[in-house]
């Protein structure tokens, strides 16, 4: 069905939500200003561990406009959600806001001021006096391991005997890599606007998952999910930080119910570093061994990540390691350690992003150790089937991706000797790395209506988080019905629509499109029933004799009637279809593949490191929208450059407070840092995965990129930087050490 020439599937259809965003009509969570709205502002803990000993609201209560101030001894009692992914009521931080007087991290909500204006709420929040009994804070991974040891994680894997294979191998490496906390920092602040009406809760929330948010809130407020509607028509991105409901949304809904009026809360940028998740710090030990021919014979990937005292979050750094390379003896293990930070959460390519930094750096080190070109080493060792699941891959073109990217990049011109490629004052470094991401697909419902005015309407309770979901849904409807894009309305981001997936895991496309297409086909079947019924345009004909053509139905004689006329004839407002599709089966291992090639330039005279060029070849099945797909990879490459060179949330090791907590000091790449980015999309449909053959493209581009940068840095400078980010000071020689404290 999607193989016709010039299919709208694959075309670079411009975003259908673009004009709304450009003109400011797009409605974000904090843009909702219902009548009688009150504004919340948080009071946040200034210690990272201990107890509130006293909380005084006397002065704040007297401030202009203050309506109420909530805290641990003045807050309704709520219930914890079971936080089950399977049940669809997951949250990352299970502790409820203001549950008790305990403080587990700096920047934890300790009170919520509600006032008539934002400014009054904020002014009063600063007059809430809190005194604490502070305990010694555990400020980072090393301190956590020292103080608390580690706890077993999940996602472990063992095959063969990695230890003895290592001991008897021809060549080995053993290296430890570290990645820092990264904070998602979407442009749009986390925000909630909530109100209650006769016991029904409506909440506009900056959410990547309206259905799960609804279900979690239902558990927390102990009311049926039908009484809650969560809206997120637009999200100023999330990168994972908006997947699950955080304390501020719960507090906002509760305050609104207590006060009997709408309440809005926007999380300040500083607290987006504390109370809405982050990518945790990791420490990863990689041990690799090869035989005489440079084939991997042993691979161990052991990682520890930081988690909070309230919840265990496992960063599955070894998720890709299990299956990317052929290796008979392999161990992947994950452990966590508790520190005084908020609960971590998924950040774009969780597990794989930090994990592939370590693995793909280690593969480079291994190739180096045995004197094989890193591209050749990978080609020699890539797995042909998923050895962790003992399943074939549904579709795997990593060899072609690697070769095509290498060609386009000009890898053949690389002189292997460290520091040997120079241009003017700069030393040029070439590096590469594989990228990889699991292809996931969830269950999904959708509805499509073809309407009497000749337009179509599609709805699904998934979200467009800025990636283009609105547009590809319209493309799928157009593909099935032939109705042009500009006559298709798509509604997402409303939990009262048919249940759709959380926008995460790069599964939105593969999950949503089959359900949308199924619903569109069911709507066409309904249309045919109307057309063939008594008084119908094709009265008496069989549905099987009608085909869809040019926005209508046509019979074998060439008689053509438009959808609008068919519906008008029967006085029907619309022909509707719904569909339900299931998650992925387990016949294959479904994964996406690719390779990044990176050129860095190191100017030792001014210690300037920059990424000059990136070529990425990506194999994600069929590309649904050429423009938005390319944009996802380009954006992910930029994020990967940030991960490689700049990004780190710095905690004061004395008190566990995040220090560089704003957009000026938390450094992400800006335009001036952008290299030439050349993205090759392989576009091989994976029809075993779903009817469109699409696997999803949001995350894979960020995996492996930081390793490719680090490998290029090694080629240029001879320095193996095993701790991200690769800031210039790590590349400088003879840096004086501290002279005073």
Is 610 exposed, middle or buried (CB count within 10 Å of its CB: 0-12, 13-18, 19+)?
Answer: middle
Query: How many C-beta atoms lie closer than 10 Å to residue 653's C-beta?
Result: 12
Of 705, 693, 347, the closest CA to residue 504 belongs to 347
Give the one residue of 37, 443, 564, 667 binding other proteins; rule: CB under 8 A: 667
- Site for other proteins contains 654 (CB under 8 A): yes
Q: Nearer to other proteins by C-beta: 443 or 668?
A: 668
Least separation, in Å, of the C-beta of 166 and other proteins?
A: 36
Structure tokens at 86: 């399977």
| CA max distance for the chain | 94
Select the span of 118-126, 411-419, 510-518, 681-689 touching other proteins (CB under 8 A): 118-126
- Site for other proteins contains 672 (CB under 8 A): yes
Least separation, in Å, of the C-beta of 419 and other proteins?
A: 18
- Site for other proteins contains 701 (CB under 8 A): no
Least separation, in Å, of the C-beta of 193 and other proteins?
A: 21
- Site for other proteins contains 222 (CB under 8 A): no
User: Which residue's structure tokens are 């430890």?
Assistant: 176
> 726, 664 in Cβ contact below 8 A?
no
Least separation, in Å, of the C-beta of 278 and other proteins?
A: 16
- Site for other proteins contains 727 (CB under 8 A): yes
- Site for other proteins contains 676 (CB under 8 A): no
For 463, residues 6+ apart whose C-beta sits below 8 A from its C-beta are 207, 208, 209, 210, 232, 235, 469, 492, 493, 500, 503, 508
- Site for other proteins contains 735 (CB under 8 A): yes
Q: Nearer to other proteins by C-beta: 222 or 664?
A: 664
Q: Nearer to other proteins by C-beta: 106 or 438?
A: 106
- Site for other proteins contains 610 (CB under 8 A): yes
Least separation, in Å, of the C-beta of 262 and other proteins?
A: 22
3-class secondary structure, 8: coil
Q: Nearer to other proteins by C-beta: 696 or 725?
A: 725
> 436, 476 in Cβ contact below 8 A?
no
Which three-class secondary structure string do you get for 578-603?
Answer: EEEECCCCCCCECEEEEEEEEEEEEE
Least separation, in Å, of the C-beta of 718 and other proteins?
A: 18
Q: How far apart are CA 588 and CA 738, in angstroms?
A: 55
Give the one residue of 126, 415, 529, 559 binding other proteins; rule: CB under 8 A: 126
- Site for other proteins contains 178 (CB under 8 A): no
Select the span of 87-95, 239-247, 574-582, 667-675 touching other proteins (CB under 8 A): 667-675
Q: Nearer to other proteins by C-beta: 23 or 737?
A: 737
> Nearest 5 degrees, angle CA 318-CA 406-CA 321?
10
What distance, in Å, lies between the first and last C-alpha atoms of the chain?
A: 70
Q: Nearer to other proteins by C-beta: 132 or 457?
A: 132
Catalytic residues: 699
Select the span of 245-253, 344-352, 557-565, 646-654 touching other proteins (CB under 8 A): 646-654
- Site for other proteins contains 740 (CB under 8 A): yes
Q: Nearer to other proteins by C-beta: 540 or 605?
A: 605
Distances, alpha carbon 102 to alpha carbons 60, 621, 654, in Å: 22, 49, 20
Least separation, in Å, of the C-beta of 661 and other proteins?
A: 7
- Site for other proteins contains 424 (CB under 8 A): no
Q: Is the dihedral of CA 6, 8, 9, 12 positive or negative?
A: positive
Q: Nearer to other proteins by C-beta: 5 or 605?
A: 605
Q: Is the dihedral of CA 412, 416, 422, 428 positive or negative?
A: positive
Give the one residue of 25, 36, 82, 119 binding other proteins; rule: CB under 8 A: 119
Select the span of 288-296, 396-404, 468-476, 670-678 touching other proteins (CB under 8 A): 670-678
Q: Which of 213-251 are b and which e, b meaning 16 or more Cβ less than 10 Å from the residue's Cβ?
A: bbbbbbbbbeeebebbbbbbbbbbbbbbbbbbbbbbbbb
> 93, 311 in Cβ contact below 8 A?
yes
- Site for other proteins contains 547 (CB under 8 A): no
Least separation, in Å, of the C-beta of 272 and other proteins?
A: 15
Q: Nearer to other proteins by C-beta: 650 or 691?
A: 650
Q: How far apart are CA 679 and CA 617, in angstroms?
A: 6
Give the one residue of 456, 645, 694, 710 binding other proteins; rule: CB under 8 A: 645
Least separation, in Å, of the C-beta of 604 and other proteins?
A: 9
Q: Nearer to other proteins by C-beta: 185 or 574?
A: 185
> 613, 737 in Cβ contact below 8 A?
no
For 5, residues 6+ apart whose C-beta sits below 8 A from its C-beta are none
Q: How many CA atoms lie within 13 A of 566 on its CB side?
A: 30
Give the one residue of 62, 665, 676, 718 binding other proteins; rule: CB under 8 A: 665
- Site for other proteins contains 556 (CB under 8 A): no
> Nearest 5 degrees, angle CA 348-CA 352-CA 358?
125
Select the span of 186-194, 434-442, 475-483, 728-736 touching other proteins (CB under 8 A): 728-736
Structure tokens at 603: 């100017």
User: Which residue's structure tokens are 């003045």?
Assistant: 74
- Site for other proteins contains 423 (CB under 8 A): no
Q: How far apart are CA 448 and CA 232, in angstroms?
A: 20
Structure tokens at 578: 């719904």
Give the one residue of 53, 608, 676, 718 binding other proteins; rule: CB under 8 A: 608
679: phi then psi, degrees, rounded to nearest 5 = -110, 125
User: Which residue's structure tokens are 């520890």?
Assistant: 304
Give the one residue of 660, 683, 688, 691 binding other proteins; rule: CB under 8 A: 660
Least separation, in Å, of the C-beta of 96 and other proteins?
A: 25
Give the one residue of 161, 650, 678, 723 binding other proteins; rule: CB under 8 A: 650
Q: How many CA atoms lie within 13 A of 319 on its CB side?
A: 21
Size of the site for other proteins (CB under 8 A): 45
- Considering only residues 259 through 278, tell me which ones interact with other proteins, judged by CB under 8 A: 270
For 217, residues 6+ apart whose C-beta sits below 8 A from its C-beta are 201, 203, 228, 230, 245, 249, 250, 253
Least separation, in Å, of the C-beta of 660 and other proteins?
A: 6
- Site for other proteins contains 728 (CB under 8 A): yes
- Site for other proteins contains 741 (CB under 8 A): yes
Q: Nearer to other proteins by C-beta: 373 or 652?
A: 652
Give the one residue of 652, 678, 683, 691 binding other proteins; rule: CB under 8 A: 652
* Chain centroid offset of residue 37 CA: 32
Q: How far apart are CA 506 and CA 490, in angstroms?
A: 20
- Considering only residues 444 through 503, tell me which ones interact with other proteins, judged by CB under 8 A: none
Q: Nearer to other proteins by C-beta: 161 or 603?
A: 603
Least separation, in Å, of the C-beta of 389 and other proteins?
A: 41
Q: Nearer to other proteins by C-beta: 431 or 669?
A: 669
Select the span of 119-127, 324-332, 397-405, 478-486 touching other proteins (CB under 8 A): 119-127
- Site for other proteins contains 224 (CB under 8 A): no
Least separation, in Å, of the C-beta of 102 and other proteins?
A: 19
Of 635, 650, 639, 642, the closest CA to residue 610 belongs to 642
Q: Which residues bind other proteins (CB under 8 A)?
A: 46, 64, 119, 122-123, 126, 270, 605-608, 610, 645-646, 650-652, 654, 657, 659-662, 664-665, 667-673, 727-729, 732-741
């Amino acid at each position: 069905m999607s193989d016709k020439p010039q299919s709208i599937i694959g075309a670079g259809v411009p975003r259908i939500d673009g004009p709304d965003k450009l003109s400011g009509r797009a409605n974000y969570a904090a843009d909702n200003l219902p009548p009688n709205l009150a504004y919340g502002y948080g009071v946040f803990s200034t210690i990272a561990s201990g107890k509130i000993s006293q909380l005084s609201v006397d002065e704040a209560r007297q401030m202009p406009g203050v309506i109420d101030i909530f805290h641990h001894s003045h807050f309704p009692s709520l219930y914890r959600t079971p936080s089950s992914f399977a049940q669809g009521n997951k949250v990352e931080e299970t502790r409820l806001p203001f549950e008790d007087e305990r403080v587990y991290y700096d920047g934890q909500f300790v009170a919520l001021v509600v006032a008539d204006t934002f400014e009054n709420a904020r002014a009063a929040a600063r007059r809430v006096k809190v005194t604490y009994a502070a305990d010694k804070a555990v400020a980072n991974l090393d301190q956590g391991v020292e103080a608390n040891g580690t706890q077993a994680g999940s996602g472990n894997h063992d095959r063969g005997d990695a230890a003895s294979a290592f001991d008897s191998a021809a060549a080995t490496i053993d290296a430890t890599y570290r990645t820092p906390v990264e904070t998602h920092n979407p442009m749009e602040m986390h925000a909630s606007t909530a109100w209650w009406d006769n016991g029904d809760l409506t909440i506009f929330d900056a959410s990547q998952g309206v259905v799960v948010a609804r279900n979690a809130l239902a558990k927390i407020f102990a009311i049926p999910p039908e009484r809650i509607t969560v809206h997120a028509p637009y999200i100023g991105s999330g990168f994972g930080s908006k997947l699950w409901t955080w304390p501020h949304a719960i507090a906002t809904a509760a305050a609104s119910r207590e006060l009997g009026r709408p309440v809005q809360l926007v999380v300040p940028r500083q607290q987006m570093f504390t109370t809405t998740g982050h990518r945790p710090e990791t420490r990863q030990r990689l041990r690799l061994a090869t035989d005489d021919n440079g084939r991997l014979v042993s691979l161990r990937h052991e990682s520890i990540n930081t988690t909070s005292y309230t919840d265990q979050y496992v960063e599955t750094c070894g998720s890709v390691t299990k299956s990317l390379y052929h290796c008979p003896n392999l161990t992947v293990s994950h452990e966590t350690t508790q520190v005084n930070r908020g609960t971590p959460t998924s950040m774009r390519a969780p597990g794989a992003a930090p994990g592939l930094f370590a693995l793909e750096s280690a593969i480079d080190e291994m190739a180096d150790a045995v004197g094989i070109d890193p591209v050749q080493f990978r080609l020699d060792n890539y797995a042909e089937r998923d050895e962790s699941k003992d399943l074939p891959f549904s579709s795997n073109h990593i060899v072609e991706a690697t070769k095509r990217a290498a060609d386009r990049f000009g890898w053949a011109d690389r002189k292997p000797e460290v520091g040997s490629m120079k241009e003017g004052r700069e030393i040029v470094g070439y590096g590469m790395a594989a990228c990889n991401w699991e292809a996931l697909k969830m269950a999904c419902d959708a509805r499509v209506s073809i309407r009497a005015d000749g337009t179509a309407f599609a709805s699904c309770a998934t979200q467009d988080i800025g990636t283009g979901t609105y547009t590809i849904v319209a493309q799928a409807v157009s593909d099935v019905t032939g109705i042009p894009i500009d006559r298709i309305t798509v509604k997402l981001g409303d939990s009262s629509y048919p249940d759709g997936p959380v926008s995460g895991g790069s599964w939105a496309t593969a999950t949503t499109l089959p359900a949308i297409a199924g619903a569109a086909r069911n709507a066409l079947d309904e249309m045919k029933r109307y057309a063939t019924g008594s008084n119908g345009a094709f009265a008496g004909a069989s549905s099987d004799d009608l085909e869809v053509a040019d926005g209508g139905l046509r019979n074998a004689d060439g008689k053509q009637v438009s959808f609008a006329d068919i519906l008008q004839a029967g006085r029907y407002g619309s022909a509707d279809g719904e569909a339900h599709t299931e998650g992925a089966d387990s016949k294959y291992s479904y994964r996406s593949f690719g390779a990044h090639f990176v050129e860095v330039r190191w100017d030792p005279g001014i210690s300037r490191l920059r990424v000059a060029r990136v070529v990425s070849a990506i194999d994600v099945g069929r590309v649904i929208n050429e423009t938005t797909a390319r944009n996802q990879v380009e954006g992910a490459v930029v994020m990967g450059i940030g991960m490689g060179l700049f990004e780190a949330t710095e905690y004061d090791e004395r008190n566990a407070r995040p220090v560089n907590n704003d957009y000026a000091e938390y450094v992400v790449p800006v335009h001036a840092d952008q290299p030439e980015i050349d993205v090759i999309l392989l576009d091989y449909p994976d029809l075993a995965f779903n009817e469109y053959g699409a696997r999803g493209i949001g995350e894979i581009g960020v995996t492996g990129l930081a390793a490719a940068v680090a490998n290029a840095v090694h080629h240029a400078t001879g320095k193996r930087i095993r701790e991200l980010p690769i800031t210039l000071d790590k590349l400088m020689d003879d840096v004086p050490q501290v002279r005073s404290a």
